Amino acid sequence: MNLAPIAVALDAPDLETAARWATLVTPHVSTVKVGLELYLRYGPDVVASVRGATGVQVFLDLKLHDIPATVAGAARAVSRLKPAYLTVHAVGGASMIRAAAEAAPNTKIAAVTVLTSLAEDDLTSIGLAGPALDAVRRLSALAVEAGAQALVCSPIEAAAVRAEVGPEVTLITPGVRPRGAATQDQARVATPEEALA
């Protein structure tokens, strides 16, 4: 059976719920995502708990962003958990991304381009030259050149990013919502059908 190329976010209030959700979805999807809140609440044990006996890929979404030596140390520390993906912020720069990739060679470093919670006006206020699509494309090229094997971008930008970096890089698109669903704190969103297209 082919598993859907979907990373289910285990944004649960407690470890037991996250592990139960993981058990329910792993027969159908390729990956489960452990975010910063769950990881900080339960520590490294959360990865083993959600992976269970299934061996599902774990996407460790910690969004590391610090000086290269610190990010390398953090990436090395979590690489023992064998996550399939580990996120870093692309705005941390090429040296930081390279440090993470070298410190965790068996994990795909996924560079977060522009958070999907940021709208066009937000880019100006934080000093990032926009529009968002241009910023995402620039950061994508920088990250891949520095060793990132995956990129996190809005589904709205996926086609342009694919054209920028080619077919070998994995694109991860948060901000995917069914039509009519609340966008919560996401600004640049798409439906599942639009994201896959």
Residue-wise pLDDT for 106-123, tens only, equals 999 999 998 888 878 888
Residue 6: its pLDDT value, please?
85
Percentage of the chain beyond pLDDT 90 is 61
* pLDDT tens-place string over residues 139-197: 999 999 999 999 999 888 899 999 999 999 999 988 665 665 555 555 555 566 666 66
Q: Are 113 and 139 in contact (CB under 8 A)?
A: yes
Please name the amino acid found at residue 157.
E
Tell me what the mean pLDDT of segment 24-29 comes to: 91
CA atoms within 13 A on the CB side of 168: 6
Nearest residue to 33 (alpha-carbon basis) of 21, 16, 45: 21
Q: Are 139 and 161 in contact (CB under 8 A)?
A: no
Is residue 38 within 8 A of residue 21, CB to CB? The reply is no
pLDDT digits (tens, 9 = 90+) for 10-20: 999 899 999 99
What's the confidence (pLDDT) of residue 124?
84
How is residue 84 written in tokens? Answer: 């399939």
* Distance in angstroms (rounded) separating the CA atoms of residues 132 and 195: 17
What's the confidence (pLDDT) of residue 150? Answer: 97
Q: What is the pLDDT of residues 61-74, one digit of tens each?
A: 999 999 999 999 99
Residues taking part in catalysis: 63
In the predicted model, is pLDDT for residue 126 greater than 90? no
Q: Return the pLDDT at 179.
A: 62
Cα 28–chain centre separation: 20
